[in-house]
Structure 1
Amino acid sequence: MVGRFNVRSGDGDQDWTVWDNAANGNRGSGLTEEAAHKLAADLELQYDVYGPRSADHNRRVDPPVAVETASQLAGWLDAWIFEQGTWVGRVRGPGGRVAWVPQAELRRVEQF
């Protein structure tokens, strides 16, 4: 279940939290917005809805590669997870925002 971890805002710049939908609780609090999004993306790589992901359901891309979707630059692919019978890529877009994109929708950019 990609989307297990959600970023929630608070009252101030250092008041962002990461909510775990499967455990129904916080996984990080008192964070900046950027740190909260990074933590949520990293936790998605480590856990699925049932607990820790098995090692064969997680692959890192090093160095990250530029990818596009539907002829539009998506960002940098830096990891894969195996989710519900298909590979899903973690793509970091402008500003470091993360999107989870199915493998069938991604294409490597030859020149960036």
Structure 2
Amino acid sequence: MLGRFTVRPSDDGSEGFGVWDGAVNGWRAIGIDDETEAYLMASELDVQYDAHGPRPADAVRKVDPAQAVQRAEWTTGELDVWIRDNGEWLGRFRGKDGRVTWIPGSELRPL
């Protein structure tokens, strides 16, 4: 269940954002001022957990240091971790604007 963690506006009256855990229908974090930081936190949680709990160790591959890659859309950014979800390897791609997204491995290539 990639996307178990989603970014939503906080419901605590603040102007910030929160990270919602769809598996337990509850907040993992609230009051995050920066939306980009909230998306990074959600992706870090996606690295650690799948729909059933902690992600198996053999389903995560850290890339250290992060590697420059190019998406199939010909956008450049950095790849810093791989996860296997539903039998497919996905790379966490951070664009030049700092936003993170999960991209299928077949759509990434090193620069």
Same-fold call, TM cutoff 0.5: yes
Q: Which amino acid aligns with 1:34?
A: T
Tell me, yes or no, if structure 1 residue 20 matches structure 2 residue 3: no
| Matched position secondary structure for 2:45 | helix
Shift of 1:20: 0.6
CA distance in 1, matches of 2:89, 2:77: 17
Q: Which amino acid aligns with 2:96?
A: P
Q: Which runs of 4+ in 1 moved over 2 A?
A: 10-13
Q: TM-score when scaled to structure 1?
A: 0.88
CA distance in 2, matches of 1:69, 1:93: 10
The superposition leaves residues 17-75 of structure 1 with CA deviations (integer Å, 9 ceiling, x where unpaired) of 10011111100011122331221111010000111001110111001111112260241
Shift of 1:16: 1.0
Higher mean alpha-carbon deviation, 25-34 vs 45-54, is at 25-34
Q: TM-score when scaled to structure 2?
A: 0.89
Identity %: 48
- The number of residues matched between the two structures is 108
CA RMSD, Structure 1 to Structure 2 (Å): 1.5
CA distance in 1, matches of 2:5, 2:73: 29
Partner residue in 2 for 1:2: 2
Partner residue in 2 for 1:104: 106
Change (3 A) 1:106 1:25: same
